[in-house]
Amino acid sequence: MKPDDLKPPRALTIAGFDPSGGAGVLADVRTFRDFDLASSAAITSVTFQNATSGFGAVDQTGEAVRAQVIPLMEAFTFVCAKTGMLPTREVVSEVARLFRDSDLPRPVVDPVMMASSGQRLMGEDAVGTLVRELLPLARLVTPNISEAETLTGITITSEADMRRAAAMVRKLGARAVLIKGGHLPEDAGGTPAVPADAMDLLDNEGQVTVFRERRIAGAGIRGSGCVLSAAIAAGLGNGNTIEEAVEAAKSFVLAAIRDSARLDRGPV
């Protein structure tokens, strides 16, 4: 028995560090706490940013990421895991090796490629490694529209496109994919592809579930993707089905968006 086994269930996040606290491992740890899970975190990159702008980053080596995770695995048993910012091909490959060669639970993979500020968070040469090595290990992949387009090569402007892209991501090896449709583009007439609703589409081993919520004006809250993927991982760690975990996570994030201070409510 590991020393932590009699304590609250524990979640693992492997992601970037945002010193402003709005995204990355700090947002993940806060979210795990709200789902009654203890937390451990490994940092893949130290970013330089505030709530509005990105100024650069210092990426960790794959060896440094591995060195953070191995002692955690020796001490703790994890009920769930998620990955966020994986900046380089080396880091992606090392993280994939950690999940492949251990008893860590299959992760929720948030394929973070760009920050809300426009700062690139994943090297272009790392995307192929993500597809080849990490996606086949994922329990769920949670791309936004732009990320799903990068992973599949499909231009996504409709629900039908989202269904096709989700099926393609599953064929890359992931058991399930949740495409977040909040950034569906406007059509040529200036009308949103989903006029009144924000739509997310879950393809779980071929079973498709569409989640629709009323759009919230001005809801571009930084870090909401990190919080969503962490909340889904927490739900899976607490024994929910993937559909239940996604639904609960969406409700959690929507409540946070309606009270935007909740996404950045002080120190962890």
Render pLDDT for 82-125 as a digit per residue (tens, 0 to 9).
999 999 999 999 999 999 999 999 999 999 998 766 678 898 89
According to the model, what pLDDT value does residue 187 have? Answer: 43
Distance CA 40, CA 8 (A): 12
Distance CA 86, CA 2 (A): 28
What's the chain's average pLDDT? 87
Adjacency order of strands within the sheet including 54-59: 54-59, 38-49, 10-17, 78-83, 108-109, 140-141, 176-180, 197-204, 207-214
The angle at the Cα of 257, spanning 255 to 260, to the nearest 5 degrees, equals 110
Handedness of CA 11, 16, 18, 23 (dihedral sign): negative
According to the model, what pLDDT value does residue 120 have? Answer: 81
Residue for token digits 């231009």?
Answer: 155
Distance CA 59, CA 86 (A): 9
Task: Mean pLDDT check: name the lowest of 91-105, 165-179, 215-229, 238-252.
Answer: 215-229
> How many beta carbons lie within 10 A of that of residue 135, not counting itself?
22
Helix (H, G, I), strand (E, B) or coil at 191: coil
Global confidence as pTM: 0.89
Q: With CA atoms as reference, report the closest residue to 105 among 11, 40, 191, 187.
A: 11
Asked whether the predicted pLDDT for residue 221 surpasses 90, the reply is no
Which of the 8 DSSP states describes residue 150?
Answer: H
Asked whether the predicted pLDDT for residue 81 surpasses 90, the reply is yes
Residue 224 confidence class, pLDDT cut points 50, 70, 90: confident
According to the model, what pLDDT value does residue 190 have? Answer: 41
Q: Within 13 Å and on the Cβ side, how many CA atoms surround 263? A: 27
**What is the CATH T-level fold of the domain 10-264, as seen in this structure?**
UDP-N-acetylmuramoyl-L-alanine:D-glutamate ligase (3.40.1190)
Which residues, in sequence order, are bridge partners of residue 15? 43
Distance CA 198, CA 221 (A): 14
Over residues 140-153, mean pLDDT: 96
pLDDT digits (tens, 9 = 90+) for 22-68: 889 999 999 999 999 999 999 999 988 787 777 888 999 999 999 99
One-letter identity of residue 123: G
One-letter identity of residue 45: S
Distance CA 30, CA 96 (A): 25
Contact 178, 138 (CB under 8 A): no
Residue 134 confidence class, pLDDT cut points 50, 70, 90: very high
pLDDT over 70, % of the chain: 84
According to the model, what pLDDT value does residue 116 have? Answer: 67
Residue for token digits 């399930």?
Answer: 176
Distance CA 143, CA 104 (A): 22
